[in-house]
């Protein structure tokens, strides 16, 4: 299928006294499209996340990437140096699950108000920190398909404290695909097994992918850990997942 021409813009999502910046990419051709929320790594809505958002839109979706650090670091985006990682982790530690879910719902509600969006057809995709947040977002009633890429800490914590995110598995109403690299030291194999066991326990439609030779961040072509083979397969799987929304 030929890629669609797209339009991109930055929008502001308003709720009460909160203004959340978001990167929006949409097909130029008029039509009715599912919506996909793209969830950032600890590096903000940077060039990689904007690129992913655009790639999704070119497939025939309205894609939106809300800035998840808006409350503490408006406009934050950075690269992948050790210093960048330390800064991003600091901002991630300040997030709260309830606020993250509220911001994601805000992005969904924004899409719902666009005339070219299918009102009952939403998914989300997240990477690194956003992979963990995607697992949380999968519990939202509007989300029917979730792609969670190497989300660390799903079995051990939740943003802001409280029971680990994996304990919310039973609340997931849609399908979830999870992607992990076997060389990812931040997500031990037993944690991946625990996630898969919980998905099976609660009969959540799912697939869990484990890639040989792939490390954390294997999907990002701007990182030293980029693994073209694993990234290509994961992208095809994510495309198959989101095709269910059409």
Among all residues, which ones are annotated catalytic?
A: 128, 184, 216
Helix, strand, coil in percent for the chain, rounding step 5: 35, 25, 40
Q: How far apart are CA 55 and CA 4, in angstroms?
A: 9
Q: How far apart are CA 233 and CA 116, in angstroms?
A: 30
Q: How far apart are CA 27 and CA 116, in angstroms?
A: 9
Q: How far apart are CA 83 and CA 128, in angstroms?
A: 17
Q: How far apart are CA 124 and CA 238, in angstroms?
A: 10
Q: Give Rg (Cα) of the chain.
A: 16
């Amino acid at each position: 299928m030929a890629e669609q021409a797209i339009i991109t813009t930055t929008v502001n999502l308003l709720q009460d006294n909160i203004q959340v910046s978001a990167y929006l990419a949409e097909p130029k051709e008029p039509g009715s499209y599912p919506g996909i929320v793209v969830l950032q790594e600890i590096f903000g809505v940077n060039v990689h996340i904007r690129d992913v958002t655009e790639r999704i839109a070119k497939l025939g979706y309205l894609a939106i990437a809300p800035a998840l650090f808006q409350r503490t670091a408006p406009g934050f985006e950075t690269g992948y140096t050790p210093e960048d990682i330390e800064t991003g982790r600091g901002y991630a530690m300040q997030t709260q699950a309830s606020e993250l879910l509220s911001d994601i719902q805000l992005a969904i509600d924004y899409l719902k108000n666009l005339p070219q969006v299918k009102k009952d057809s939403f998914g989300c995709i997240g990477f690194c920190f956003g992979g963990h947040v995607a697992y949380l977002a999968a519990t939202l009633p509007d989300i029917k398909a979730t792609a969670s890429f190497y989300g660390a800490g799903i079995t051990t914590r939740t943003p802001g404290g409280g029971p680990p995110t994996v304990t919310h598995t039973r609340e997931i109403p849609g399908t979830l695909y999870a992607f992990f690299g076997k060389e990812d030291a931040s997500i031990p194999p037993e944690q991946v097994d625990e996630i898969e066991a919980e998905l099976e326990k609660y009969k959540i439609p799912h697939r869990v992918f484990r890639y040989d030779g792939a490390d954390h961040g294997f999907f990002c072509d701007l990182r030293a850990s980029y693994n073209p083979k694993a990234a290509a397969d994961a992208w095809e799987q994510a495309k198959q997942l989101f095709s269910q929304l059409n």
